[in-house]
Amino acid sequence: MDNLTHTLFGATLARTPLGRAGRGTTAALLLSSNAPDIDIVAAARGSVSYLRWHRGPTHGPIGILGLALVTAGLVWGGRRLYDLRRTSHDPHAAPPTTTDASFAMLAAVSLIGIVLHVLMDLPTSYGTRLLSPFDWHWFGIDAMPIIDIYLLILLGFGLLFGQRSAEAGRRNATIVLTLMAANYGLRVVAHDRALALVPRIFGPTLPQRCVGAPEPGRSPLDVWPPATPPVLEPATGSRCLVEVAAMPTYVSPFQWRIVAQFSNAYELRDVDLLDARLRDGDDESEAPWRLTLRYPNVWNTAVQKAATTETGRAFLGFSRFPAARSAVDPRGTTTVRWADMRYAGGLLGLGPQDRSGNPFTATIRVSPTGEVLSETLRPDPPRR
């Protein structure tokens, strides 16, 4: 989730009994709700560093515990410093009307805020690395977009209309948290429905599954990158189906992007669950599979070489659906380009027909002798 959503969620939690655990707990909730994203500092060293570290150790077990203690320490120390400065300016100042929360209470509240931050990141299509640094695999559920405008509106209005009194704030916080749970539940159900429609959406173009490919619906938790890639069906040697995923969009919980990964390409289809054609349409001219967009994914020697570079390893370790394409110029130089199919059409998912604006792409140029000439990880400039 984006940091505005995390901040509003922390402010909402501060209006629950957690916020009444003592002075400093509101500050602890606001800080802890954003603390795991401190890894943004890795972006100072470029996009490669950002992809390598973002949602990594700060979202794992050690980071969660460590950040909880650091957050509690900052709030506890900041509160003491504030009191010292206040009394130094006015020795007769009245003491605070609220009892100070102990360090242990601040640590517990901070731990709750950080854990909920990670749990809000997990259902997004971006995912998170829950077990890092012990395990660097990504985990995700694909139920929520990175920015959910409905959550933002809900949290914003809940805080806005709960300012009249403490009682109104608590009541609104309860309503908001209930509606948040309903929103998550709706998206989970809609996600499962979108996957169930895959045979209808792709029609006769959907091939058999590859040998070793995961069975659909085996687990709601997606894990990537895979340890070993599936292989072609040995009987036919034709293309096969590796995986199918339903990606949430930013517009509606009923609109999803289906990403089908084949052994040599990706096929994308935007689907509206409220579309009557998906329920009872029999007109073959309106079959959804006729509108599928195809992205090649061909791995050759140059692509394999590019995958060994620093940029290639970082991108392939991050990307869930990396589509590879390559082109050779008259001088024999091969340009290898990967694009993450989760963001085909741009970060906001404006539709697969729009090929521009993908924020996650990697471009590597390889000479005829196999030398790497340049590496670019968008939006960084090439390193020559």
Q: Give DSSP secondary structure letters for 318-357.
A: H-SSEEEEEEE-TTSPEEEEEEEGGGTTTTTT--TT----
Q: Are strands 361-366 and 334-340 parallel, antiparallel or unpaired?
A: antiparallel
Do 259 and 333 belong to one domain?
no
Do 117 and 187 belong to one domain?
yes
Do 30 and 130 belong to one domain?
yes
Distance (Å, whole) CA 211 – CA 197: 23
Residues 6+ apart with CB under 8 A from 357: 345, 346, 347, 350
Domain boundary residue among 191, 220, 238?
A: 191
Do 138 and 257 belong to one domain?
no
Do 36 and 160 belong to one domain?
yes
In a domain, 384, yes or no: no
Do 208 and 336 belong to one domain?
no
Reduce the DSSP state of residue 274 to 3 states and report it: coil
Residues of the chain with pLDDT under 50: 347-356, 380-384
Do 116 and 78 belong to one domain?
yes
In a domain, 382, yes or no: no
Range of the domain at 22: 3-191
pLDDT at 59: 97
pLDDT at 231: 64
Domain count, the chain: 3
Do 22 and 127 belong to one domain?
yes
Do 169 and 31 belong to one domain?
yes
In a domain, 383, yes or no: no
pLDDT at 215: 72
pLDDT at 357: 56
pLDDT at 251: 86
Q: At what angle do helices 103-121 and 61-89 cross, to 10 degrees?
A: 130
Q: How many CB atoms lie within 10 A of CB 236?
A: 10
Do 118 and 153 belong to one domain?
yes
Structure letter (DSSP) for residue 362: E
Do 180 and 206 belong to one domain?
no
Domain boundary residue among 259, 293, 327?
A: 293
Do 210 and 311 belong to one domain?
no
Domain boundary residue among 191, 211, 239?
A: 191
pLDDT at 93: 64
